[in-house]
Copies of this chain bind each other. A is one copy, B any other.
Amino acid sequence: MQKPDIIKAGHIELLVTDLGRAKEFYVDALGFVATESTKRRLYLRGLEERYHHSLVLTESDRPGVGHISFKVKDTEDLKLIEELVKKRKGYSDWVDGKESGVGRTLLTRDRFGFPVEFYASMEGANWMLQKYDKYRGAKIMRIDHFNIMLPDVAAAYEWYVKDLGFTCTEVTETEGKNPAMWAAWLRRKHTCHDIALTTGKGPRVHHAGFTVGDRLSIMDCADLLASAGYLDMMERGPGRHGVSNAFFLYLRDPDGNRIELYTGDYLSSDPDWIPIRWKLNDPQRQTFWGAPTPVSWFNEAMNVRSPKTGKFESLSDPEIVDRPDYLLHAK
């Protein structure tokens, strides 16, 4: 079957309980650029992005994720995806016009329970890349990737690689004689990833990653957040990842939603790329400098709202119970 031509991770909809408070965090502190605001929604983009939004904040009674979203090449690709989703027993709906700035829109609930949107076009917006006098906060450049947590990574890997045409750049395997795939990093655009799959209770979205220009933008952002009263929002980092080689800082927004500031992975344009392999207990896998990841990073993630029912998805535990050993002793 023909594969759809997916271009890149496009945007994410985060649910927030107080839009004003969320604006203070994302716009005033982090420096996202506001493209449009409505009573219940704020559409944001990065300095490098020439499209309407890469982050939508929607006021809701509960935090979490409304949908993650991929841009495809053209509308034919949307139809291909609709067929694939149906074939794999997912749900899909055409929801054109519900989200500002987006063209024809296919909103799906894939069979793993994730709300995933696809679209081929989005309204343009001013390029801020060379408006250096408007740079603020973390100097967010663009959305980079989604990291999702689910019980069956191997099945989701099949869906994304075989059906949707993603390329695998890195994997984490369990220890022992018969290693299982514990996590996978998959890309369409030429970076380390557009989506990462991690074993855990799900369906949940672990975080969305946003690219910043360099390591000092992340250092400066940590200083800024620590000065601006957001000390508790810094969950992990700054540090260097083993996987992806990127420099990172994980933040929780005032509702507990998690985003990553991310910079410094590699170009991965080659179709014959051989995936980098990591073992689950390698101390340099998550943080190249060896610092342990906080327990909250493994236990907490964002719940997702079903496009089909409008309710939050219930969670299932993974069959693979392996976790890094040090967590046994961590608080």
Residues of B close to A190: CB separation below 8 A: 189-191, 267, 269
Residues of B close to A267: CB separation below 8 A: 8, 48, 142, 189-191, 211
The copy count of this chain in the complex is 4
- 9 sampled A-B residue pairs with Cβ under 8 A: A132-B226, A135-B224, A190-B267, A213-B264, A215-B216, A223-B289, A226-B240, A231-B284, A331-B331
A residues touching B (Cβ–Cβ < 8 Å)?
7-8, 29, 48, 50-51, 71, 73-74, 121, 124, 127, 129-135, 141-142, 188-191, 211, 213-216, 219-220, 222-228, 231-232, 234, 238, 240, 242, 245, 247, 264, 266-267, 269-274, 276, 283-284, 288-290, 329, 331
Residues of B close to A73: CB separation below 8 A: 271
Residue contact A129 to B266, C-beta cutoff 8 Å:
yes
Residue contact B29 to A223, C-beta cutoff 8 Å:
no
Residue contact B130 to A245, C-beta cutoff 8 Å:
yes
Contact pick for A290, options B142, B216, B226, B272, CB 8 Å: B226
Which residue of chain B has the shortest Cβ distance to A290 in the bound complex? B231
A163 to B58 alpha-carbon distance, docked (Å) = 45
Known: A231-B284, A270-B71. A224 touches B133 (CB 8 A): yes
Residues of B close to A273: CB separation below 8 A: 50
Residue contact B7 to A269, C-beta cutoff 8 Å:
yes
Which residue of chain B has the shortest Cβ distance to A74 in the bound complex? B271
A331 to B232 alpha-carbon distance, docked (Å) = 21
Residue contact A132 to B227, C-beta cutoff 8 Å:
yes
Interface centre among A134, A223, A276 (most CB of B within 10 A): A223
A201 to B264 alpha-carbon distance, docked (Å) = 38
Q: How far is the CB of A134 from chain B (nearest CB, A)?
A: 8
Q: Closest 8 CB pairs between A and B?
A: A132-B223, A133-B228, A190-B190, A132-B227, A189-B269, A133-B227, A231-B290, A132-B224
Known: A129-B245, A228-B133. A288 touches B214 (CB 8 A): no
Residue contact A269 to B130, C-beta cutoff 8 Å:
no
A329 to B331 alpha-carbon distance, docked (Å) = 10
Residue contact A29 to B226, C-beta cutoff 8 Å:
no
